[in-house]
């Protein structure tokens, strides 16, 4: 794979960030960093849908809490596209735990905790495709 391919990735603005009305601010970060927002929708997942979305984590001790949280309020699901969109979105997000995230990343600036870390981003091409299909098919 070339290092500058145009990719699509799935981004989610999680309930903690929607609750604090951060949608516009977070979207501006993507746009300012040349990630186009191809599609965007506000939804609230059922617990079952959240379990399906996060099924890769079903053996983890935090799975139940994670799925309850993702389904606890409205979220914004977005398709982002751009050069190396998957990795660049991950870089803009920062580390999973906001405490470990680099300065200026979305999770460092807006994240509250490892649970309430404000955003999700696909971690691979295969997961990006599956996650985009989950919300936009």
Catalog residues that contact ligand IDP under the rule CB under 6 A.
Answer: 57, 62, 66, 96, 114-115, 117, 120, 123
Residues whose CB falls within 8 Å of the CB of residue 126, separated by 6 or more in sequence, listed in order:
none
In the list Mg ion, ligand IDP, none, the entry touching 62 (Cβ below 5 to 8 angstroms by class) is ligand IDP
Q: Annotated catalytic, 57?
A: no
Number of residues that make up the chain? 137
Question: What angle separates helix 85-93 from helix 23-32, to the nearest 10 degrees?
Answer: 130
Of 70 and 79, the one with the shorter C-beta distance to ligand IDP is 70
Which positions touch Mg ion (CB under 5 A)?
123
In the list ligand IDP, Mg ion, none, the entry touching 76 (Cβ below 5 to 8 angstroms by class) is none
**DSSP 8-state secondary structure symbol assigned to residue 25:** H
Distance CA 65, CA 48 (A): 13
In the list Mg ion, ligand IDP, none, the entry touching 55 (Cβ below 5 to 8 angstroms by class) is none
* Residue 120 beta carbon to ligand IDP: minimum distance, rounded to whole angstroms: 5
Of 8 and 120, the one with the shorter C-beta distance to ligand IDP is 120
Distance CA 66, CA 119 (A): 13
* Residue 62 beta carbon to ligand IDP: minimum distance, rounded to whole angstroms: 4
User: Dihedral of CA 125/128/130/136: which sign?
Assistant: negative
Of 28 and 97, the one with the shorter C-beta distance to Mg ion is 97
Contact 40, 11 (CB under 8 A): no
Distance CA 103, CA 100 (A): 9
Of 48 and 55, the one with the shorter C-beta distance to Mg ion is 55
- Which residues form the catalytic set? 120
């Amino acid at each position: 794979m070339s290092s500058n391919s145009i990719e699509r990735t799935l981004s989610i603005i999680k309930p903690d960030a929607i609750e604090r009305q951060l949608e516009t601010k977070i979207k501006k970060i993507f746009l300012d960093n040349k990630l186009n927002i191809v599609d965007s929708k506000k939804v609230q997942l059922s617990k079952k849908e959240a379990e399906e979305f996060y099924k890769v984590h079903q053996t983890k001790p935090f799975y139940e809490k994670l799925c309850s949280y993702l389904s606890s309020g409205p979220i914004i699901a977005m398709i982002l596209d751009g050069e190396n969109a998957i990795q660049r979105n991950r870089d803009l997000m920062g580390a999973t735990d906001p405490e470990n995230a680099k300065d200026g990343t979305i999770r460092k600036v807006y994240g509250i905790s490892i649970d309430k870390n404000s955003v999700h981003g696909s971690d691979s091409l295969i997961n990006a495709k599956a996650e985009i299909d989950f919300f936009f098919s």
